Amino acid sequence: MDNYPLLLTEENRLARLPFEECVYELDFLGIEHLTPERFMGPVSETAKENAKRLQSVGWDRTQASPIQMLATPDVPQYILDATSESLQAATNYLGNYGPLKFYTVGNDPEVVEPIIKDFCSWGNSFISFEQCSQDQGESMREMSSIYPGGNAFAGAAWESDDPVFYFVNNPCANEQNEFCSLKHPQELIGLQKMTAHEYFHVYQGSQQIFRPHYEGGFPMPRWFEEGAAEYFAVFLTQQEGWNPNIRLDMTRESILDVQRGLETWPSLRLIDIETEAATTRTKSYCQSELCIGFLQYGMGYLAMAFLAEITSDEAIFFDFYEANKTDGFYKAFADVFGRDIDAFYEEFDVFLKLSPEKQLEALI
C-alpha cells in the first residue's frame, strides 16, 4: 500500500509543528532511488554573462570593506560581541567576502520595521519595497514575534547591478520570550557556531559564479552545501576553543540522528536530495521536512567528515571551491576527492551500515 498522505499544507504548518515528531512513530515503505538528471555543462550564455559581470565587480574575491552589522535596539551588546567574534574568526580563516550586511532581529515586533526597511534596500533593491516587505520582511516580523526558538537565513542578491550578500539572525528566545543566553550563557556557543555556518554559505555563494542554475548555470546538491557549512561551523568552534569537544559531540549526535532517521525512512540516502527535483520527490514521499533535515544536516555532516578523512579539511574548504567555480560540482568532486559521486555514494553506504561505535571510531 502507499504511504498515508498527511495532507501537508502551508496553512496548517504552524498548527502541526508541535506534533511533527509523531512521524517517527510511522513505518514507511522504501523509495526507489532514481539517478537524478545531472547538469555537467556546458553552461549557457546567460550563465557566462552573469559570471563575467560578477567577476568584474570582485564577487569571487576577498573584500576590503568590513562586514556591516545592524541590530534591533532590544538585542544585548554581549550577543552582538559574540556574533562579531565568530564573524571575525570565520573571515580570518576563509577570507572576507561580500559586501555583506549582518542583521540581528530581537524579540520585540515594535522595533523591527527600521531593520526591514534597511534590509529591503540592501538585499532586494531589484524588487519593490512592498514585495520585499511582504516576503522576507514578513519572515523577519515572524522572527521577532514567535517564541520559543530562534531562526536565521542568508542569501545573495547576485542579480543586482551592485551584488551583495545578507544574513539575518534571530537569537534563541525561551518560553518567556527572553534571550536564552541570559540564563544560559552556553547558548552563545551555539550562536557562534550558527554564525560560522551561515558565513560559510556566504563564502560558498561567492565561489559560485555561473548563475542561475535553472538557466544553465552549475548547481550544487543541498546535502553538500549544508553538510559543508555544518562541518566548517564545527571545525571553527573547536579551533577557536569555544567548545573543545564539539567535534566528538557533534559527530556522535549526527550518527544518532541519522540512525533515527533511517529507522523511519530506511531507504533514504543522499542521492534522494541531490537535486531540487529529487528533493521535491523525497519530501512528497516522506511527508515531513524532518526527513530532509536529517539528510542534509545529519547525513550531510557525516559525509563531509567522511570526505575529510579521505582527503583533508583544506580540500573541503578550499580545493573543492576553487575547482567548482569553473568546472561545476561533479567534475570538481571527482578531481578533488578522487572518485565520482556514485562511487562515493557506494563507499558512504558501506560506512552507514557500520555500528554507531565503528562509525564514530572511523571519523574521530
pTM above threshold 0.85: yes
Is 2 a domain residue? Answer: no
What CA–CA distance (Å, rounded) separates 18 from 13?
A: 10
Are 313 and 356 part of one and the same domain? Answer: yes
In terms of domains, do 245 and 171 share one? no
Report the C-alpha gap between 106 and 112 in whole angstroms: 8
Specify whether 202 is located in the same domain as 71. Answer: yes
For residue 47, being part of any structural domain is answered with: no
Residues 264 and 135 in one domain: no
Query: Is residue 250 located within the same domain as residue 356?
Result: yes
Owning domain of residue 266: 13-40+219-363
Q: What's the CA gap between 318 and 311, in Å, rounded?
A: 12
pLDDT at 215: 79
Q: Is residue 212 in a domain?
A: no
Dihedral pair phi/psi, residue 260, rounded to 5°: -65, -45
Residues 287 and 355 in one domain: yes
Task: Tell whether 148 and 171 lie within a shared domain.
Answer: yes
Domain assignment present for 160: yes
Q: Does residue 83 fall inside a structural domain?
A: yes
**Domain final residue pick, 174, 206, 238:** 206
Residue 4 is assigned to a structural domain of this protein? no
d(CA 312, CA 81): 31
In this structure, the number of other CB atoms found within 10 A of the CB of residue 52 comes to 10
- Same-domain status, 231 and 350: yes
Length of the chain: 364
Tell me: do 247 and 330 sit in the same domain: yes
Closest CA to 168 of 141, 130, 207, 188: 141
Give the number of other Cβ atoms within 10 Å of residue 357's Cβ: 10
Distance CA 146, CA 167 (A): 19
User: Which residue numbers in the chain have pLDDT < 50?
Assistant: 1-8, 10
Q: How many domains does the chain have?
A: 2
**Residue 72 shares a structural domain with residue 189:** yes
Residues with Cβ < 8 Å from 237, sequence gap 6 or more? 189, 192, 193, 196, 243, 246
Distance CA 238, CA 196 (A): 12
Where a domain ends, among 177, 206, 235?
206
Q: Is residue 258 part of a domain?
A: yes
pLDDT, position 159: 87
Any residues with CB less than 8 A from the CB of 329 and at least 6 apart, and which?
A: 218, 219, 220, 221, 224
Residue that finishes a domain, picked among 206, 241, 261: 206
Alpha carbon 156 to its chain centroid, in Å, reads 13
Identify whether 7 is part of a domain.
no
**Residue reference for cell 532590544:** 74
Q: 302 with 261: CB under 8 angstroms?
A: no
Q: Are residues 233 and 136 in the same domain?
A: no
**Inter-CA distances, 209 with 67, 321, 361, Å:** 21, 11, 38
State whether 267 and 357 are in the same domain.
yes
